[in-house]
Chains A and B, each alone.
Chain A
């Protein structure tokens, strides 16, 4: 503390720094510049090894005719230009058609799942904002789906959706008498809804957690002022709580979108290696078309297309939300 005081004893409180001045007095300037890079080095190396280099390799692979013969030595695989891409997006041929169908299924699934997760999470967080008996218990209980390992939770749902010995058909068919015969949930068209329910069950607590954290940043006196003005609870939620959550929601929705769109674990555990057509999410679809047919070139091209799509959506989203923020500040 004394050092800073001694260094500029008569400095005025506000002054303009001249260029280069900040660096000059530091004796260990070099080390200081190197230090942040050294601190970042482990993270950088790990990201390079596990994410960035593999991603670049994946992009390179998408331009090659990569079949099982070349898998140990992928560099030798013949160059195929855009062939993999034309196969992937030829929507008249079976491969492209299946990819398009899977993509559209994933879009619909993601919109529904993110929407429901957000809705349940936000409503639960708002209802648990005020103190009442049992609030702490519910807060903890609601985090259980988030804490359960994916495979344990999804296996349990798979059991509940069994046609003959599952809870869902027991309730719907045996107890409520819906349908002539017990329905199939893990094959056929119903599988979409089964997957959606599992995804929402597993995903909404994250929205709950995030919104709950966001609510703590809203100053209490805003509510008090509103109450003095005669605004009831519902009005306060509409005019204070929800608008204050804007920036939290912007991040939350983006994160939920990316996680849901890329989700592999849920369909993989629920359906096994091949999902029914109605619930054929894109990650599992690409996995299946790469590893079942051993056509890694096309699989890579599909992955790159998926990545491009996510990049564009994220870019547009960030652009729109940041512009929205600017105009609302004015």
Chain B
């Protein structure tokens, strides 16, 4: 069916403007990261006159960016692995069993999405401090505490999405596995998990991005040694000067891993949303 002219023109204009809007900050990020400090401190220039790679060298010196990087990778990586695992178990229970309190559970878990983070920031901080005093397990200021916090952030959405995804996998598959002698848990890992792998990848991507981008808890619950990129990036602003070229270079460096990973896996996210969430 041929689209009429009005549609083609509307599409062309809309997509052009939207592309410009999307690309603009990315262009600023890239071009400014290649400018010397005098240039980014002065009037903005569309085309950098003196290109330099210097900011990419300096970012590692101005702040301990490499340490922040490691912290972010450990925290976001561990939070993702545990969150996905916990979500798989919970979604399996919700999808495959009927039990008392099922509705209460799903509603409760989903409604935690609604809580303003600010409401439980201070209580959580106090709980972590008290657990630390009582048991000696350092949760406040440690990577473990941040992992624990972040892994619950993506949990509601992950459980919801995976439940929908598991529901779309025919029950005959795991019934057949059980007949072949699998217990429920091995049926889960041998049959359902492989069949739901696109959904699981989607959930993992979501969990990683949530943890990688979180700012509020990262800025309250970390110390000098456990600081993540979310907080560390603010270190390029000193009292006298903001090293904008370094800020942009560092932003780019911390973004590239997630953006590339996300773009490679995005079709799973669309597939996961289609099967899981959008019903």
Contact = CB atoms under 8 A, between A and B. Distances in A.
A50 B148 contact: yes
Contacts of A36: 93, 96-97, 99, 102
Contacts, number: 272
Nearest to A39: B93
Interface string B57-96: 0000000000000000000000000000111011011101
B-side interface mostly = helix
Interface string B140-174: 00000000110110010001000000000000000
Contacts of B120: 50-51, 54-55, 57-58
A159 B248 contact: yes
Contact of A55 (B93, B115, B129): B115
A232 B4 contact: yes
A330 interface: no
A265 B259 CA distance: 19
Nearest to A302: B118
A54 B127 contact: yes
Interface residues of B, number: 95
Contacts of B203: none
Interface in B220-245: 229-230, 233, 244
Nearest to B26: A144
Contacts of B112: 47, 51-52
Contact of A144 (B22, B32, B93, B159): B22
Contact of A307 (B119, B151, B175): B119
Contact of B152 (A47, A169, A300): A47
A40 interface: yes
A57 B278 contact: no
A234 B109 CA distance: 40
Interface residues of A, number: 100
Most-contacted residue by chain A among B122, B124, B215 (CB, 10 A):
B122
Interface stretch (A80-88, A89-97, A183-191, A208-216): A208-216
A251 B247 CA distance: 37
Given A46-B152, A47-B109, A155 B119 contact: no
B278 A127 contact: no
A105 interface: no
A212 B270 contact: yes
A166 interface: yes
A262 B114 CA distance: 8
Given A55-B123, A151-B229, A300-B122, A130 B3 contact: yes
30 contacts: A4-B179, A39-B93, A43-B90, A46-B148, A49-B127, A50-B124, A54-B124, A123-B14, A127-B14, A142-B22, A143-B266, A149-B258, A150-B213, A156-B251, A157-B25, A159-B247, A159-B248, A167-B44, A217-B278, A223-B1, A247-B278, A247-B279, A286-B118, A287-B121, A299-B118, A299-B122, A303-B119, A307-B115, A310-B114, A310-B116
Q: Top 9 closest A-B pairs, CB basis?
A: A54-B120, A54-B123, A57-B123, A147-B262, A152-B251, A303-B119, A213-B273, A39-B93, A170-B44
